[in-house]
Structure 1
């Protein structure tokens, strides 16, 4: 796909905003701290010129950056792998580009990782972090008149729920509507910038922050990190999802709390099992699945409505590959349920305390995009399955209608996957997954081979 860059500018808040340094919470500073892109595709509006669309996007962005002024700032390293946010109204970057392709050539769930790469902003992580905008937009017009809108937000500033809060408020401004929910910007509710309450006892550790298992017989994950990967999209209809849920609930006794397994617990368990089969693990191969849990309503009291920042934490479900493969789907779902149910108010506060006692946070940061080999690796024999199933990712209308397709951006690392709701809100689920090239064909076979698929 040939992409020509037309221009780039900084869009700053159109009113004066507060300036100064803000501490970040521990959740902001671990896991992924690079940009997370999403891409929306639109047909050409019949009554609007492209220049009008671009001007509308820029103008509304300058206005929404007033209440969401942290996104117009810049990050700074301070010490020991820790970050601070400088609110300085430097602005968000708006890139304009043109493609020689047509929107029809994008197809339905057929974009390769190469296409996604060219349609997403290219963030140069060799630059000092304080030079990188926290929000970057790439507006790409196709020769048919349609266009793509790629939105990349620094994960150090916002998790998925906060990012979509901002994006949806931006679309409201573009439509001429008022702010619906004021963002809550005080991260001190998660004790941002505060010292630990007490030193940790000697030898105290947290299994959630340990390095994931390695392949049996290997002493490092370097060989697996170097393997060539590819990205594919898989769709499950509502009927297929319901079939998997029935299979999970009937195959492994009564789920804890008497609740049936959720869509996430079921489909994520299915992905985990299918990956173990495709990778042809030995029966005694330890494997883990990274699960992202929203803490907003699990804390006592719950976080304020509109909390803007990272309020999700990662937990891990563990098993032996042989158990996952030989036992029914409900077993995998039960392992995921067990991991999620650990996330209580007490657990969340203890995790924060653990991180506050760390001398250096860099070992908990996913720095793959910065071409670093540090941080956790959830590739073979492990997986990460992030759920966007309950997030308002679809129906983004800036005033010229809803998107015709939405994709998560580039996912370049083995084991990285996202579950998305179907575009038509029909109960279907889309899996975007990155695996080693050598494993993808086998994964496809096993993913659709399950009895209910």
Structure 2
């Protein structure tokens, strides 16, 4: 797709902000520490040059104002040894890119992520030293039809999805001339950022920090990482979701110790896990792990303050054999997922922090794939990770010209990386979308199992 880049600017806070080093929590420094993209599309009419210039000016001015409140995003990361990072608040600014394309919005069809998104989303050059990389990159692309796309690429070492969307929504409020709804809570000391380990504290078992299973007969996952992947947006109607929930709940009553019906997330994630095992053609004895991302904000005692700005999510894992996931009722996989989620308590979170603080080096807990490394966690074959965006305030982002016509994840090319989102077509109708990345050789089989197994 032809995209012409009209300008790249550094946007800094409009007012002086606090400067100095800010300690990151252990949760900030593990898992994905690179940038995560999202993209929004807005309908015409924005053909008029004056309107377009006003949009660009409004976005840049309001971003500059938003960075006064969210000033860590205008800083830079730096390595401080032992695989650990520190955030330097220095108001160095964020990157803002202006671009144009002769494409029309209707040529994108249902907006499913494709290789063309690479031209609409800022590219992060990880050959540049990390202390020089912006933590936030923004790109506005104007299309011939008058539509626009607005994309964000935000460092996951600084914020999780909840915090990223908090920032974006407050930026939009400022663009509309409104005050902040919730100020960011910037003190990460609540998660013991910068504190020394307390060696006397006993630790719980944390299987999530073990390396996920490998394919039988392999000693590493390097070859699996090299295989070509593809992304699909797979839709589930409310009726299909309800059928899956009934299957999981009715067939797995003996496994459900809580008595509560399985949630949409537990059910659909169990279904994804089972279909992935089938599509990948595993041997029955093949070990497989499912990574579950849990938000700890409300699970802490006391809960983290509203607007906590940072990473407060952690991964826990459910482990089984592919044979059991496939052959046993759907409720079996759902029960494994629920058990993993229920382990996340205040004590568990604090124990996990303590475990990481005692590690001599955090590198092995970081996914360095985008940085050129082959070590670290990997939820590719035979494993999978499923992140829920079901409760995140993703939709309705209005900078003063109405809400988007589509919002979704940007390009992601990690085998086994998946998201569950509410359908954008009708926020309240109960339908869902699974954004899934798998190896090309497995995707069609996955799609077939995904729908054929819903009875």
**TM-score (structure 2 length as normaliser):** 0.97
Match of residue 443 from structure 2:
440
Counterpart-to-counterpart distance in 2, 1:32 and 1:21: 21
1:336 paired with 2:346, answer: no
SS in 1 for 2:274: helix
**Per-residue deviation at 1:45?**
3.6
**Per-residue deviation at 1:450?**
1.6
Match of residue 225 from structure 1:
225
Kept in 2, the 8 Å contact 1:200–1:357? The answer is: no
The change in CA–CA distance for 1:183 and 1:110 in structure 2 (over 3 A counts) is: closer
Counterpart-to-counterpart distance in 2, 1:124 and 1:332: 39
| Residue 434 (structure 2) aligned to one of 418, 431, 451 | 431
Q: Which runs of 5+ in 1 are unaligned?
A: none
Counterpart-to-counterpart distance in 2, 1:248 and 1:208: 24
Kept in 1, the 8 Å contact 2:197–2:354? The answer is: yes
**Per-residue deviation at 1:218?**
1.3
Kept in 2, the 8 Å contact 1:294–1:312? The answer is: yes
Match of residue 276 from structure 1:
277
For 1:160-179, what aligned pairs fall within 5 Å after superposition?
A: 160-179=161-180
The change in CA–CA distance for 1:110 and 1:192 in structure 2 (over 3 A counts) is: closer
Match of residue 50 from structure 1:
52
For 1:11-90, what aligned pairs fall within 5 Å after superposition?
A: 11-45=11-45, 49-90=51-92
Kept in 1, the 8 Å contact 2:235–2:434? The answer is: yes
Q: Which runs of 5+ in 2 are unaligned?
A: none
Any idea what the Cα deviations from partners look like across 1:124-172, whole Å, max 9, x if unmatched?
0010001111111011111111111111110111101111110000010
SS in 2 for 1:343: coil
Counterpart-to-counterpart distance in 2, 1:167 and 1:153: 10
Match of residue 243 from structure 1:
243
For 1:130-169, what aligned pairs fall within 5 Å after superposition?
A: 130-169=131-170
Kept in 1, the 8 Å contact 2:204–2:351? The answer is: no
Match of residue 6 from structure 1:
6
More deviation, 159-168/420-429: 420-429
Any idea what the Cα deviations from partners look like across 1:261-317, whole Å, max 9, x if unmatched?
111101111111000000010000000000000001111111111100000000001
Match of residue 310 from structure 2:
309
Superposed CA RMSD? 1.5
Counterpart-to-counterpart distance in 2, 1:164 and 1:314: 19
Kept in 2, the 8 Å contact 1:237–1:429? The answer is: yes
Counterpart-to-counterpart distance in 2, 1:76 and 1:93: 18
Kept in 2, the 8 Å contact 1:420–1:430? The answer is: yes
**Per-residue deviation at 1:100?**
2.6
**Per-residue deviation at 1:200?**
7.5
Kept in 1, the 8 Å contact 2:204–2:348? The answer is: no
Aligned length, in residue pairs: 450
**Per-residue deviation at 1:119?**
1.5
SS in 2 for 1:95: strand
Counterpart-to-counterpart distance in 2, 1:275 and 1:162: 30
**TM-score (structure 1 length as normaliser):** 0.97
